[in-house]
């Protein structure tokens, strides 16, 4: 393997990992703060993809506008969904909550199919061309995706570390009762967490539409890999989810080159199994003593 090939595979892996990271970030946030496994997360990715397609194709605007638009719209939808549905069931047994998110997923998929049909949606506008550096080529669309993913991830980690809301969310994730008794408005914090997570998912969808095609199931395709990333990284660990996402993206890129994409999936899920057996808290999560 030449150095240029190695770097090329690295770049490809980082792009794939970046998208996975955005999806996993939202999943980790929701699980960390609310202890909810959100099966509807894929549909929020699809929401962002279709919104961006509408902006780029029928409206004829730059698809890059879809990125902030997807975040804002996604966050608004997330707020509405959490307020009207999720928050009403969080006190129920976890299986009930799981079924509610699954039902939301099925409803979302149905609505997208009805609204947009099964045809794939694609647009040719957006960044075009490639950047060549030291023999490595990176398409400008892929570069855009990578830059946005890294920027958002950095912003999220910084906010969680130092902003007031970030501290509130971390407190909630560590101990809900203690957070409440120290004056944190837990309901509001949960609304914010869910909204931000959905906004991030929608941005992932916007970016997916930029480098691929959009169908009603585009989000679901990312969701399963997103779950793997979250488990491997550590269920409540945001930095863990991001690191795991890039790691898995790189692994899939290398496996895809030397073997094929079927093996890339097999290796990914074998890694999941190994982690669950040897380090169930995830590579970067904290062990919880019984």
Partner 1 sequence: MGGMSRRALLGAAAFTAATTRIRFARAEDPIKLGASLSLTGRFSDSAKYAQEGYQLWEEQTNAGGGINGRPVSLSIQDDTSSPDTGRVLVQRLIDRDGVIAILGPYSSPITDAAAVVVERAEIPMLGTIASDSSIWTRRKLHWSFQAFPSSDYDHRGFLEIIKAKGGVKKLGIVFEQSPFSIASKDFAEKMARDMGLTVESYGYTPGAQDFRSIIERIVSFEAEAVTMGGYYEPSIALTRQMMERGFNPLAYHFILSADGVTKDALGANVEGIFGRSAWEATLERADSKAFVAAYQAKFNRLPAYHSAAAYSAGQVIAAAIKAKGVDRTAIRGYIASNEVETVLGTFKVNETGQQTGYKYVATQWQKGVSRVVDAKSAEWPKPKWS
Handedness of CA 133, 62, 200, 48 (dihedral sign): negative
* Residue 90 in the binding site for partner 1 (CB under 8 A): no
Using CB under 8 A as the binding rule, the residues of this chain from 206 to 225 that contact partner 1 are 211-213, 215, 221
Q: Is 132 helix (H, G, I), strand (E, B) or coil?
A: strand
In terms of C-beta distances under 8 Å and separation of at least 24 residues, what long-range contacts does 147-152 make, across chains too?
148/18, 148/67, 148/203, 148/207, 149/18, 149/19, 149/21, 149/22, 149/207, 150/18, 152/22, 152/25, 152/200, 152/203
Report the DSSP beta bridge partners of residue 133.
136
Nearer to partner 1 by Cβ, of 211 and 283: the residue is: 211
The Cα angle at residue 238 between residues 237 and 240, in degrees rounded to 5: 65
DSSP label of 286: P
CA atoms within 13 A on the CB side of 149: 29
Distance of alpha carbon 124 from alpha carbon 57, whole angstroms: 9
Shortest Å distance, C-beta 27 to partner 1: 20
* Residue 96 in the binding site for partner 1 (CB under 8 A): no
* Residue 260 in the binding site for partner 1 (CB under 8 A): yes
Q: Which position among 84, 91, 128, 162 is part of the footprint of partner 1 (CB under 8 A)?
A: 128
Nearer to partner 1 by Cβ, of 178 and 224: the residue is: 224
Q: How many residues bind partner 1 (CB under 8 A)?
A: 37
Unique residue bearing structure tokens 């957070």? 179
Report the DSSP beta bridge partners of residue 137.
132
Unique residue bearing structure tokens 């898995």? 248
* Residue 139 in the binding site for partner 1 (CB under 8 A): yes
* Residue 133 in the binding site for partner 1 (CB under 8 A): no
* Residue 286 in the binding site for partner 1 (CB under 8 A): no
Q: Which position among 58, 115, 129, 183 is part of the footprint of partner 1 (CB under 8 A)?
A: 129
Nearer to partner 1 by Cβ, of 38 and 215: the residue is: 215
* Residue 264 in the binding site for partner 1 (CB under 8 A): yes
* Residue 38 in the binding site for partner 1 (CB under 8 A): no
Shortest Å distance, C-beta 139 to partner 1: 3
- Summarize as ranges the residues that interact with partner 1 (CB under 8 A): 5, 8-9, 12, 15-16, 113, 117-120, 122, 124, 128-130, 132, 137, 139-142, 211-213, 215, 221, 252-253, 255-257, 260-262, 264-265
């Amino acid at each position: 393997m030449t150095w240029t090939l190695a770097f090329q595979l690295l770049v490809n892996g980082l792009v794939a990992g970046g998208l996975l990271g955005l999806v996993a970030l939202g999943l980790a946030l929701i699980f960390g703060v609310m202890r909810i496994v959100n099966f509807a997360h894929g549909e929020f990715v699809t929401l962002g993809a279709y919104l961006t397609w509408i902006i780029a194709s029928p409206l004829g605007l730059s698809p890059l506008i879809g990125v902030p638009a997807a975040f804002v719209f996604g966050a608004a939808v997330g707020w509405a969904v959490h307020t009207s549905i999720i928050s009403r069931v969080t006190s129920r047994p976890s299986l009930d909550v799981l079924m509610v998110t699954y039902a939301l997923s099925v409803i979302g998929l149905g609505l997208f199919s009805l609204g947009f049909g099964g045809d794939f949606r694609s647009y040719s506008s957006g960044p075009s061309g490639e950047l060549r550096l030291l023999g490595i080529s990176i398409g400008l669309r892929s570069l855009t995706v990578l830059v946005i993913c890294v920027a958002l991830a950095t912003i999220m980690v910084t906010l969680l570390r130092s902003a007031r809301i970030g501290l509130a969310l971390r407190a909630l994730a560590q101990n809900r009762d203690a957070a409440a008794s120290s004056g944190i408005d837990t309901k509001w914090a949960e609304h914010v967490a869910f909204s931000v997570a959905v906004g991030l998912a929608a941005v992932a969808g916007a970016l997916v539409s930029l480098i691929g095609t959009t169908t009603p199931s585009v989000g679901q395709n990312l969701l399963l890999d997103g779950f793997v990333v979250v488990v491997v990284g550590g269920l409540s660990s945001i930095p863990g989810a991001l690191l795991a996402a890039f790691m898995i993206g790189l692994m899939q890129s290398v496996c895809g080159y030397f073997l094929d994409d079927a093996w890339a999936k097999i290796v990914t899920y074998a890694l999941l199994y190994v982690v669950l057996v040897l380090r169930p808290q995830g590579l970067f999560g904290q062990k919880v003593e019984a």
